[in-house]
Amino acid sequence: MTRVLLASRNAKKLAELRRILAAERVAGIEIVGLDDVPSFPDAPETGATFEENALAKARDAAAATGLPSIADDSGLAIDALNGMPGVLSARWSGKHGDDQANLDLVLAQLTDVPDERRGAAFVCAAALVHPTGPESVHRGEWRGTLVRAMRGDHGFGYDPIFVPEGDTRTSAELAPAEKDTLSHRGRALSLLLPHLSDLSG
């Protein structure tokens, strides 16, 4: 059994990552969390891209623990904000991790943006870094539009205002398993999985 570290301190994101990986049941791999390893300091997320941040987090975790490590960086790229909040999605209001403040700010900023220019994409970069060197990073995107009021109780972050293409529900109104099959995070992890299987070989 090869132990692989899932390096996230965001409880809701961690639950989603674990659920997606559990559904895929990669043989010979045991997923462990940060609670299962000695603690190490967080690196600052100062990269200009999701890929840089995901790789930096996975590299730090692999170096600190000696375990192959998975990390993601993700966010919402809003067309009318030139792709922002992007890598700043979790701290858009200035307070890191305050979902409600971030949602309120985005809705206020988009007040005067007409319906035809309210497109956006959820983006996830998922990195897998082995302590002896091999690494890869994979990008998943999920296109949709942003509504003017929050709907739904599932998910986290900007889910309550994001309506995926081809649907009328927000991603916070999708059942978790349904979200996983469609989402940016699900897509990025499905691209990462073959590399995970390699580890157990």
Residue type, 76: L
Q: Give the sheet arrangement for strand 69-78, strand by strand.
A: 29-33, 2-6, 69-78, 119-129, 135-146, 162-164
- 86 part of the interface to its own copies, by CB under 8 A: yes
- 114 part of the interface to its own copies, by CB under 8 A: yes
- 91 part of the interface to its own copies, by CB under 8 A: yes
Question: Could you give the CA distance from residue 183 to residue 156 in angstroms, rounded to a whole number?
Answer: 13
Q: What track of x and - describes contact with its own copies for positions 138 through 177 (by CB under 8 A)?
A: ----------------------------------------
Distances in Å between the Cα of 177 and the Cα atoms of 8, 74, 83, 172, 198 are 20, 19, 27, 12, 26
- 11 part of the interface to its own copies, by CB under 8 A: no
Query: What count of Cα atoms within 13 Å lies in the side-chain half-sphere of residue 110?
Result: 26
**CB of residue 122 to its own copies, shortest distance in Å:** 17
Nearer to its own copies, 36 or 141 (CB): 141
- Backbone φ and ψ for 23, nearest 5 degrees, come out as -65, -25
**73: annotated active-site residue:** yes
- 101 part of the interface to its own copies, by CB under 8 A: no
**CB of residue 44 to its own copies, shortest distance in Å:** 6
- 136 part of the interface to its own copies, by CB under 8 A: no
Residue type, 176: P
CB contact burial 76-93 (16+ within 10 A = b; e otherwise):
bbbebbeebbbbebbebb
**CB of residue 45 to its own copies, shortest distance in Å:** 7
Q: Give catalytic residues, as residue numbers.
A: 73
Which residues in this chain contact its own copies in the complex, by CB under 8 A? 44-46, 48, 80-84, 86, 88, 91-95, 104-105, 108-109, 111-114, 117
